A and B are shown apart, each in its own frame.
Chain A
Amino acid sequence: MKFKNETKFEITGLNQEKLLNELCKTVSLSDIDRREKNKTSFKCSYFEHKKVEKFLKSKNVKIDSVAHESVAYKFHKLFTSWGLVVAIVLFAVLYFLQGQYVVQYEVSGVDKLSEESVVDFVKENYPQKKSQIDTEAIEVGLTATFPRISLVSCMIKGQTLVINIKEKLLPNEMYGDFAPLVAEKDGRITEIELISGTLQVKVGDFVQKGDVLVEPYTIDTSGQLKKVEARAEIKADVYYEGSVDHYQTYISVERTGNIAVENTITLFGLTIYTFKEEHNFKMYEVEYEDVELSKNLVFPFKMKKTYIYELSERVVESNFEDVREEYIAMARESALKNCENTDNIKDEYYTLRHLSGVTIVNYCVVIEEEIQTYESEAVG
């Protein structure tokens, strides 16, 4: 690959042969092209263009243009471009300045402790400038402030302050928010397995949603109250209910089968054609359908079809005994809608209430399931 390092001059002047003869004694010229009597263009080496320029000026020759076709010129221009130089200097200064500070904190090894609280503590109490950071002081400060910390080590890595924490190992009972266990659903308690805490209910008790089941404390033999995490597995029979009403006489609305159609063709939302079938329906319902008549975007014709269905009312007589099983199944389905787990169905039954012209089917499903939860979760 050959790199061009040339400068092209275009000059205007008299007696150019003499001028070129003098110039070629010091500088080698190429591509000399006499365009007109007084106009000539020629090329010389880029590294000698200043010498040529000086010579031409000394001879009072008018230089029409000077064009550089040179890799060296491009490099020269790049490095003498003030904007670029300023940007490089600014970048270097900013890079140097921001390199003096810690901009990121990395905390590892925390389990019970909050990472944010550690970072906030370090940010508030210690400088961010790397030269002023004393990692030993941070270690001492963290150990003194957070009793859960057993061991801590800090180091600066680039612009990151890495804090490695090892927490103290405490028994599980000492953790937690010491919230009581409450009932998640209404039901009758069937089984209790207490792990820690103080029971507030016993087997056979009926509880409502939100009732406290286990308190987060224990009272020792000396009568002292000690906070512990409330933990237990409490099972209860939960009752899920559903009901369906059956009417002996009711009015049924049905389509007669008569249809009237209305078509409207639009272009850009403007109606350009409408076709409407006349009808004299007393009761009707309407359905709409939009159809694209063209697939191009130039003329997006659309047709809106409107179907008008005639309706009629009919009085229906129904005997409950004929549809009894069907209504019981509907009531059961309604009861099971609220169940999350239908694997442990213990019992199910239904009741019928006959009023004037109405029969109400109540269905109840009894499912045994765990009902304990923490108060915050129950609210959520």
Chain B
Amino acid sequence: MFNFLSEVKENLKNPKGLDLTGFNIINMSGHLLYVEGHMGLVTLSKELISFKVKKAVIIVEGQDMILSELSDNTIKICGIIKKIEQI
């Protein structure tokens, strides 16, 4: 099946040979955040949503955020996204 992100990865040159298989996050205009490859929700509130990814936790801060989609592998966050942090 065609995957846009896989195509992008193949076309982008990875000069240092880093591992790009963990997860993908796309922030669309600060209002929609699409996450692929999450490993479970950690925190859920209107101002803060955090979830586990491979070897890290991603923290998303914002306003009036809701999880518009949650499946086994993907997350879609809607709202005003102010900050995305990986720890």
Which residues of B have CB within 8 Å of A34?
44-46, 66
In the complex, residue of chain B having the shortest beta-carbon distance to the beta carbon of A20: B41
Which residues of B have CB within 8 Å of A42?
67, 70
Contact of B66 among A21, A24, A26, A33 (CB under 8 A): A33
In the complex, residue of chain A having the shortest beta-carbon distance to the beta carbon of B39: A21
Instruction: Verify A29–B70 contact, CB threshold 8 A.
Output: yes
Min CB distance A1 to B, Å, is: 22
Q: Is A31 in contact with chain B by the CB < 8 A criterion?
A: yes
Q: Is A17 in contact with chain B by the CB < 8 A criterion?
A: yes
CA of A17 to CA of B40, assembled, Å: 8
Min CB distance B75 to A, Å, is: 9
| A7-33 contacts to B (CB < 8 Å) | 16-17, 20-21, 24-26, 28-33
Instruction: Verify A21–B69 contact, CB threshold 8 A.
Output: no
Instruction: Verify A20–B70 contact, CB threshold 8 A.
Output: yes
Q: Is B71 in contact with chain A by the CB < 8 A criterion?
A: yes
Which residues of A have CB within 8 Å of B45?
34
Instruction: Verify B70–A24 contact, CB threshold 8 A.
Output: yes
Which residues of B have CB within 8 Å of A40?
44
Instruction: Verify B71–A21 contact, CB threshold 8 A.
Output: no
Report the contact-size class of chain B (Cβ under 8 Å from the partner). Answer: 10 to 19
Contact of B42 among A17, A26, A28 (CB under 8 A): A17
Which residues of A have CB within 8 Å of B7?
none
Instruction: Verify B71–A32 contact, CB threshold 8 A.
Output: no
Q: Is B24 in contact with chain A by the CB < 8 A criterion?
A: no
Instruction: Verify A29–B72 contact, CB threshold 8 A.
Output: no
In the complex, residue of chain B having the shortest beta-carbon distance to the beta carbon of A17: B41
Q: 1/0 per position for B60-76, CB-CB distance to A under 8 A?
A: 00000011111110000
In the complex, residue of chain A having the shortest beta-carbon distance to the beta carbon of B73: A24
Q: 1/0 per position for A257-294, CB-CB distance to B under 8 A?
A: 00000000000000000000000000000000000000
Min CB distance B39 to A, Å, is: 9
| B24-45 contacts to A (CB < 8 Å) | 40-45
Min CB distance B8 to A, Å, is: 24
Instruction: Verify B44–A32 contact, CB threshold 8 A.
Output: yes
Min CB distance A349 to B, Å, is: 113
CA of A360 to CA of B44, assembled, Å: 120
Which residues of A have CB within 8 Å of B43?
17
Instruction: Verify A29–B44 contact, CB threshold 8 A.
Output: no
In the complex, residue of chain A having the shortest beta-carbon distance to the beta carbon of B72: A25
CA of A354 to CA of B40, assembled, Å: 133
Which residues of A have CB within 8 Å of B69?
28-30
Instruction: Verify B40–A32 contact, CB threshold 8 A.
Output: no
Binding site for A on B (CB under 8 A): 40-46, 66-72
17 A–B pairs (Cβ distance < 8 Å), ordered by A: A17-B40, A17-B44, A20-B41, A20-B70, A21-B40, A24-B72, A28-B70, A28-B71, A29-B70, A29-B71, A30-B69, A30-B70, A31-B68, A32-B66, A32-B67, A33-B46, A33-B66
Beyond the given A20-B41, A34-B45, please list 11 additional residue pairs across the A-B interface where CB-CB is below 8 A: A20-B44, A20-B70, A25-B72, A29-B69, A29-B71, A32-B66, A32-B67, A32-B68, A34-B46, A34-B66, A42-B70
